[in-house]
Copies of this chain bind each other. A is one copy, B any other.
Amino acid sequence: MKNLIVASTSTVHGSGYLEYILPTLKTHFAGVSTLIFVPFARPGGISYDDYTSKAAEAFSKIGITVKGIHSFEDPKVAVAEAEGIFTGGGNTFELVNQLYQHDLIEVLQEALLGGTPYLGTSAGSNICGVTMMNTNDMPIVYPPSFNTLAMIPFNINAHYLDPDPGSTHMGETRETRIKEYHVFNSTAVLGLREGSWLRVQGDEISLEGELSARLFEQGKAPKELASGTLINL
């Protein structure tokens, strides 16, 4: 049975890495002593080792050891045998590229469907959707496909930002970009604001955190979902 936390961001303004969600993670990863960390998204180009150290420091506060997937001889075995998995944020294109290069898509799907507790933040949450087509990231590498883990029946737009009515900038708003997406695609998109996360337990998906989230469905007006909503799509 799936057991996932799909978070918009690792960090909310004015607080440390994963700090806002650590009490939730303590419950989510109860019984887990060692977590496998997937550092492939490399925010700011940080090295796998440094990124893993950052994750390890946060998880040490709840008594969990973190090992980077890159430190295993066979990353597929590492995923299959993991007690728990965390995929951090950064660049979604590079993350997805590396998941394909290491042939990890199917083994991740099997582990997550089998109940291995999972945490994704930002790019690590985008990959829980059907495709990565609603990432905000720059296409700095060309992955072999935009298809991702499909652990939820819609896509995630992480760090969702409402239009700024005072802006003089002419670039597209997030909402406009998602509307353009629906000209070509039918999969729904959930705009998850920073500080929000999804709790996925089997087929039950609930919106957690203090804020509402914005749901975009093809051919419909966007909807605000209140915290606590069960999302059935």
- Residue numbers of A with Cβ under 8 A of B are 9-14, 42-45, 90-91, 93-94, 132-142, 145-146, 158-159, 161, 168-172, 176-185, 194
Contact call A44/B180, Cβ cutoff below 8 A: yes
**Interchain nearest-CB distance for A45 vs B (Å):** 3
Contact call A180/B135, Cβ cutoff below 8 A: no
Contact call A135/B138, Cβ cutoff below 8 A: yes
**Interchain nearest-CB distance for A162 vs B (Å):** 11
Contacts of A171 in B (CB 8 A): 9, 136, 158-159, 161
Contact call A13/B140, Cβ cutoff below 8 A: no
Among B42, B158, B168, B182, the residue within 8 A (CB) of A180 is: B42
**Interchain nearest-CB distance for A176 vs B (Å):** 6
Contacts of A179 in B (CB 8 A): 44-45
Give Cα A161 to B141, complex, Å: 22
Given contacts A45-B179, A161-B169, A179-B45, contact A142 B138 (CB under 8 A): no
**Interchain nearest-CB distance for A137 vs B (Å):** 7
Contacts of A135 in B (CB 8 A): 138-139
Give Cα A41 to B47, complex, Å: 36
